Chains A and B, each alone.
Chain A
């Protein structure tokens, strides 16, 4: 239970970081030409094994001397879940279209106020981005195997118990997690089919 609580807390912290980053990057990647060129740098983590991300992150974690700390866990979660947050926000902003920004600019609206209109138009997508980022953070294992096996997260707990005692002990924990995940996935489906962004 301790591992579940730890993971939930760090997932929440990571999501609180992912969300503003996703809103800014999602906007830039959708509407700014330069954003399109740098988007692969953010999205790369969906294309390589997460143990490899852990290996690539390791020098930074070692140099900061934060191996096996909550900070390392949050950083790892942030790296793996940002692409999901950005992806959802990008889709939401693309649905609103560049015409909204063009109209607002012609009306004298500038800078971050433009973003505010897109935010206000996409509440369901923002909630969805937060939820999916939280899931992704909660379920991470590969990165933590390399940079932070302590404090113990759910993925590390199941992995270690499996190595130590075989599948028997962790089956019930895995089934419990499956039940929680399915409930939350159901919430996502309801959100996706619920009230539309304006």
Chain B
């Protein structure tokens, strides 16, 4: 499965976003500072913002003109989505909508514990949102800073889950550590322009470094 973006031009507010060519086959992280157009690019791909020109192709099919609802994409917005229903009802609703069984997805993501839980943490809500989105059977998953509002233990849960996903993911972040933890390749965006695409050669180094981030666990272990 592959997402191709060609010659895309988008205006939003004062921002001019231009992406000559971006191909997403595996886990691509779109890295950029605040206000560089990362979220704008993702919203253009979902159809929530209309580009001035350009083409968006999924597996060779042009989806540029398709309505948001009909695009074969999954989208996790930056703000945590909390639907007004319990986890099981939420999964059942979208299972019915898309004619899929949620149980294999929940099982493969090991999220059974969420089904009966009330008062999910923000991290758990994000995991539930990802599981719910997968019910649509998206060909590509777009994630807009899904860890932006999460503490480290929750962030780790989401990052690890993203790594296990078997579909191409375009993951937006401003955090280099997140980028290096997830990415097969990093697309760097600056001032609305795609500067370049770089393979991630530092995955192992980051994994080692992130162990030091597990301060919660390390402190508990030292006490024991």
Contacts from A to B (Cβ < 8 Å): 97, 99-100, 102-103, 105-110, 117, 120-121, 198
Contact = CB atoms under 8 A, between A and B. Distances in A.
Interface string B117-154: 00000000000010011001000000000000000000
| Most chain B Cβ neighbours within 10 Å, of A97, A107, A121 | A107
Nearest to A111: B69
A100 B98 contact: no
A198 B84 CA distance: 6
A102 B82 contact: no
Contacts of A121: 83-84
B224 interface: no
B46 A107 contact: no
B contact residues, range? 20 to 34
B127 to A, nearest CB: 15
B219 interface: no
A121 B81 CA distance: 12
B97 A107 contact: yes
Interface of B: 43, 46, 48, 68-71, 73-79, 81-85, 94, 97-98, 129, 132-133, 136
A100 B77 CA distance: 9
A100 B81 contact: yes
Contacts of A103: 75-77, 81, 129
Contacts, number: 51
B68 A106 contact: yes
Contacts of B79: 97, 99
B13 to A, nearest CB: 14
Contacts of A97: 79
Contacts of A198: 82, 84
Nearest to A198: B84
Contacts of B129: 103
B203 to A, nearest CB: 29
Nearest to A105: B68
Contact of A106 (B75, B78, B83): B75
Contacts of B132: 107
A12 B85 CA distance: 30
Contacts of A100: 81, 83
A107 B48 contact: no
